[in-house]
Amino acid sequence: MPDSAGPGQPPAAPHQRVDVSALSLEQKASLLSGRDFWSTKALPEAGIGSVVMTDGPHGVRLQTGDADHLGLNRSAPATCFPPAVAVGSSWDPDVARRLGAAVGEEARALGVGVVLGPGVNIKRSPLCGRNFEYYSEDPLLSGRLGAAHVAGLQERGVGASVKHFAANNQETERMRISADVDERTLREIYLAAFEHIVRTAAPATVMCSYNRINGVYSSQNPWLLTTVLREEWGFTGAVVSDWGAVADRVAALEAGLDLQMPGNGGLGDAEVVQAVRDGRVDEAVVDAGAARAAALAGLAREPEGGIDVDAHHRLARELAAGCAVLLKNDAVLPLDGPQRLLVVGEFAVAPRFQGGGSSHISPTRVDLPLEAVRALAAECGGAVEYRQGFSLDGGKDSQALLIAAAAAAEGCDVAVVFAGLADQDESEGVDRTGIDLPAAQVGVIRAVAAAAPRTVVVLSNGGVVSLEGWHDEVDAILEGWLLGQAGGGALADLLFGVTNPSGRLAETIPLRLQDTPSYLNFPGELGHVRYGEGVMVGYRGFETAGRRVRYPFGHGLSYTTFSTSALTAAPTGPDSAVVSVRVTNTGTRAGGHVVQCYVAAGDGPVRRPERELRAFAKVFLEPGEEREIRLELDRRAFAFWDTPAGGWRVAGGRYRIQIGESAAWIVAEAGLQLDGDRPDTALDLDSTLGEWLSHPAVGPVLRQALAALAPGGTGDAGADLLEMISSMPMGRFLNFTGAAVPREQLEQLMALSRRA
């Protein structure tokens, strides 16, 4: 599939300027809300067409009947590609880009101008019911994959809507919960993926979230929608509300929200007109919002072309195979030779391949894992037997099913148990209450593993599930997540080695839910959720606290082996560097490897995580092939958000550049010295005595002045005393000591500090 728009497929033009000055106030206001549930209003007399918007992002959910936002009513058939939970574990921007391009092609064929997505919210807790729609617990990985998806989609002439802006990390009380987050945490963790996508991929729209941030609804938050998004990041597209997210239409417009969705019969438009008539809102604000909403008309279209459903199904299978993660393998996979296989589990015949809610796609077809396994086993001269093992709806005798599966396992060579979470176990609108697999499934896994010579477990789930209680009893675990409509074929390809597993975990699998950094602060209470773990989200928290996990962020096995060597790190400026590392495929199979580059900061003015992912690259190597990988680390790779200064800051000093097989397994390390930013050395009376004394220019002079005040005029002014009161602001120190240093001398020292 080509990576750019071909003939007849112009690039998206969502940011074209539209002159609305000739329109009446009522006409301009009408552009600020939807015509109906899924489309914008048209003004044919002004050359402004209506744009159809549909849910995505891993397919096109164009509803053909009555509209609803929860995926309950019928939608047109479309390819269901792997959802974000799977794409995140691909660690491959090419997978995200090709998926976005294919969705764009299907959107054009269906007459859709904007596909809602991708979702790039951070997986703060494994309990979030919508984690299947998000990529990762890491903002760099989420941002890179999200930008690739947007680029692929918009190269096909279809607009993206990056969501949900911002701090939408739970479903509990999502319509009104206040995410109480300090600015450093917001900037470094929860806004970073959005920022990268806005700056590098220019999405057509950004969708605001339902929740409040520090007490202010996202839809009417001027700091979020105007100061940060437009003024700092340079976003020029339209801000659209999540469906039903607007609480106060006038406040939302003033904050920077352009398009209210869905339409509400013009009620919001009338409120805007009245606010202008009353002098409460400047008409220029309406002009700006209307112009941005009108610019989306560049994406309006009639259905054009068709969908090659066979080609897209093959693509879905290929992409899905690059997303699954081989967690454990004790010499049982890949399956080969004429083996007697037992397949167990209802998911083998009724696969779970996507999440529930607004992103639910009506697939063009669905691969059944059992059929795909039988086809590949037959090619190897093997035979396959099936037992249900457990019932997803609980309508059958679970004990009888377990006994039948265990009895069959005694006569097989390898048992493959398909387990996971059912649709009702996780969905939009509801958070999970735990991460355990259903007890009936755990019982079947243990019974089969006790009877079979070797046992493989294949998981299908949109959020992390616990492996405890059965992990050590099985020989291999393949985490399939949700792989889309072709996931059954992709899983068979992986089990039989047609495809070599290359996925890596985009989120940590803990030993216990209680170990997760957000555990004590999720999902909040009394309308507020406090992000008390700060920047220590996911692996950042686990690694910094030295807390053991079952499988760390970045973990994943292959049917081949790789070695890492010749790591070098060199500065390219005071706050940037280039990293080079050599990777070799030392095994006997071609395979994909993810080079994970982490930065460990030294001492500084803020507490930093033990290490943070700052660059990565996925490479595919033939047996014996060796390749040098070069990674650029820009300023942001070393920066933290300096809240008092209101900006990004790179502290000078020593950094460690680490290459990891995962966040917990570092295989190479190199030191790096950076000059960093010139520190702000200006002192005032609010600066502490310690800051005055440690200042390179002022400190020696002040120490001399204080020493002269000691008994006899020649003492050391009490080193122990100075250390004890070093945190005292200078102004209070002067009050405490009766102006020990003359005001005139202090003024001179403050002037000296500003020149230093």
- The 10s digit of each residue's pLDDT in 139-160 is 999 999 999 999 999 999 999 9
DSSP 259-297: BBSS--TTHHHHHHHHHHHTTSS-HHHHHHHHHHHHHGG
Tokens standing for residue 622: 């033939």
How many other β-carbons are positioned within 10 Å of the β-carbon of residue 230?
Answer: 19
Structural domains in the chain?
25-67+79-299 (3.20.20.300), 309-507 (3.40.50.1700), 562-674 (2.60.40.10), 689-755 (no CATH)
Contact 80, 57 (CB under 8 A): no
- Find the mean pLDDT for residues 366-388: 97
Bridge partners of 415, per DSSP, are 342, 455
Q: What is the pLDDT of residue 716?
A: 52
Distance CA 76, CA 132 (A): 22
Q: How many angstroms separate the first and last alpha carbons of the chain?
A: 58
> How distant is the alpha carbon of residue 628 from its chain centre?
28
Buried b (16+ CB within 10 A) or exposed e, 496-507: beebbbbbbbbb
| Location of structure tokens 């039903």 | 244
704 pLDDT band (50/70/90 cuts)? confident
- Find the mean pLDDT for residues 459-475: 98
* Burial class of 220 by CB neighbour count within 10 A (0 to 12, 13 to 18, 19+): buried
Report which of residues 35 and 359 the model is more confident about.
35
Contact 658, 579 (CB under 8 A): no
Q: What is the pLDDT of residue 697?
A: 87
Contact 141, 329 (CB under 8 A): no
Distance CA 35, CA 54 (A): 14
Distance CA 266, CA 282 (A): 20
Bridge partners of 180, per DSSP, are 530
Bridge partners of 162, per DSSP, are 206
Bridge partners of 206, per DSSP, are 162, 239
Q: What is the pLDDT of residues 172-230, one digit of tens each?
A: 999 999 999 999 999 999 999 999 999 999 999 999 999 999 999 999 999 999 999 99
**Which candidate in 55, 92, 138, 242 is catalytic?**
242
Q: What is the pLDDT of residue 473?
A: 98
Distance CA 31, CA 39 (A): 11
Q: What is the pLDDT of residues 73-84, one digit of tens each?
A: 678 999 999 999
How many other β-carbons are positioned within 10 Å of the β-carbon of residue 12?
Answer: 26
709 pLDDT band (50/70/90 cuts)? low
Contact 60, 107 (CB under 8 A): yes
> Which residues are CB-neighbours of 321 under 8 A, at least 6 positions away?
490, 493, 494, 499
- Find the mean pLDDT for residues 88-95: 98
Distance CA 734, CA 281 (A): 50
Q: What is the pLDDT of residues 678-691, one digit of tens each?
A: 877 789 999 998 88
Active site residue 242: yes
Q: What is the pLDDT of residue 63?
A: 87
